[in-house]
Copies of this chain bind each other. A is one copy, B any other.
Amino acid sequence: MSSSISEQLQTLGIKKHRPSGRDNDQMREVKITRNFTKHAEGSVLVEFGETKVLCTATVERGVPRFLRGSGQGWVTAEYGMLPRSTTTRNAREAAKGKQGGRTVEIQRLIGRSLRAALDLNKLGENTITLDCDVLQADGGTRTASITGAFVALQDAINVLKQDKNGAMKGDPIKQAIAAVSVGIFEGEAVLDLDYAEDSKAETDMNVIMTSKGGFIEVQGTAEGAPYTQEELNAMLDLARKGISEIVELQQEALAE
């Protein structure tokens, strides 16, 4: 807290900008473990460094009322943090009787992003629910969630493909998607912020992209000073690099 690794390194003349000692364009180690639990059609533990999220995909026949009879499927997401996934305990939302604003905001983002990965018409009248539950938080839980949820979604789609009564009309996956956070930390653009950076960053941006480099969602918030077009571009360049690495890891995991 007082004297970070990066400060100590700088004192030693070894210039490292980030608390973790990572280069500005360096991701944390990303791990993707499929079949982490046994009941769900897709179950993925995704780790971005110390951030660990369990993403499960559940397939259910039928769709919400507003889609019934349309022949179209639906994808939705729910997000939660275990009460002690964080440094200090957060009150359990089930006990409080309501999901907080941050939770609602994040699960809407996850659902929206995953829907962009699919052709919902090809999905047929099936609903896939992605549950992203944070076991341990260290920054970037929403981008890790989207990254892991895509792999769980792919596994669930594969289960549906085996199902003769599954109502799918061809492969609904239009494009692979992944997500990463970028930001301005102590005046420099950095990739994949951990909590130590995230809590002090001047700008915090979440980027969701397709495997081909198109933008699905960009959300950039100035926490301190406003950011410039140049800073925005620098962050997007880092995001593009990070996402291409993540997409590769997703494909490797799915190939196993």
Contact = CB atoms under 8 A, between A and B. Distances in A.
A178 interface: no
A226 interface: yes
A112 interface: yes
Contact of A218 (B93, B94, B175, B220): B220
A224 to B, nearest CB: 9
Contact of A98 (B97, B107, B129, B225): B97
A214 B209 contact: no
Contact of A84 (B43, B92, B175, B218): B43
A38 interface: yes
Given A99-B95, A215-B220, A84 B226 contact: no
Contacts of A6: none
A84 B37 contact: yes
Contact residues on A (Cβ < 8 Å of other chain), bracket = 35 or more
A199 to B, nearest CB: 14
B222 A226 contact: no
Interface in A45-60: 50, 52, 54, 56, 58, 60
A219 B108 CA distance: 13
Contacts of A216: 221-222, 226
Interface of A: 37-40, 43, 50, 52, 54, 56, 58, 60, 78, 80, 82-87, 89, 92-99, 101-105, 107-108, 112, 116, 129, 131, 133, 135-137, 175, 209-210, 212, 214-222, 225-229, 232, 236
28 contacts: A37-B52, A37-B85, A38-B136, A39-B86, A39-B136, A40-B84, A40-B89, A54-B82, A58-B84, A78-B83, A80-B92, A82-B133, A83-B131, A89-B129, A92-B94, A93-B94, A94-B96, A94-B98, A101-B105, A116-B222, A214-B225, A214-B228, A215-B222, A215-B226, A215-B228, A215-B232, A218-B218, A229-B236
Given A39-B85, A56-B83, 8 more contacts: A37-B135, A54-B135, A97-B98, A101-B108, A214-B227, A215-B228, A217-B222, A232-B236
